[in-house]
Amino acid sequence: MPTVSVVEIDEDFNVKPDSLKVFEVEDNSIIFDALEDQGHELPHGCLAGSCGSCRCFVIEGLENLSSPSLIEENTTTDIYNNLNNKVQSHTETSCVRLTCRARITKEKVKIAIIK
């Protein structure tokens, strides 16, 4: 069964100590739905991939997620364009995805929610 690990990050985008939470999820489940079903609340707005409120950095396991849809690609492009230089340098080692659109296809994924 795949797992999603969620960590919190501080204002400098460093992982906060002791913030790791791990959830077992069903194959091919949407991250947002799978975590909500287990009582873990994530930021959200439209839940359709257009507002970007549910954005996250994928720290590990990008290859274990579905490919982004055109809507998600457009939204994450806007997110990249609106983030400051500090965050953009962080995105060189991480990818931004939307928890309301990204499906877990296998194994494990580690994410950090961008507030």
| One-letter amino acid of 112 | A
At 93 the pLDDT is 59
CATH classification at residue 7: 3.10.20.30
Distance CA 100, CA 115 (A): 15
Tell the residue number behind the tokens 């998600």, with chain if given: 72
| pLDDT computed for residue 92 by the predictor | 58
Token code pair at residue 93: 């080692």
- pLDDT tens digits for the chain (115 residues)? 999 999 999 888 889 999 999 999 999 999 999 999 999 999 999 989 999 999 999 999 999 999 999 999 999 988 887 775 556 556 555 789 999 999 999 999 999 998 8
C-alpha dist (Å) from residue 54 to 6, 17, 46: 13, 22, 9
pLDDT score for 91? 56
Q: Write out the residue range of the structural domain in which residue 66 sits.
A: 3-113
**DSSP output for 6-44:** EE-B-TTSPBPTT--EEEE--TT-BHHHHHHHTT-----
Number of structural domains (the chain) is 1
Q: What order do you get walking across the sheet with 55-60 strand by strand?
A: 21-24, 3-7, 108-113, 55-60, 95-98
Chain-centre distance for alpha carbon 35? 11
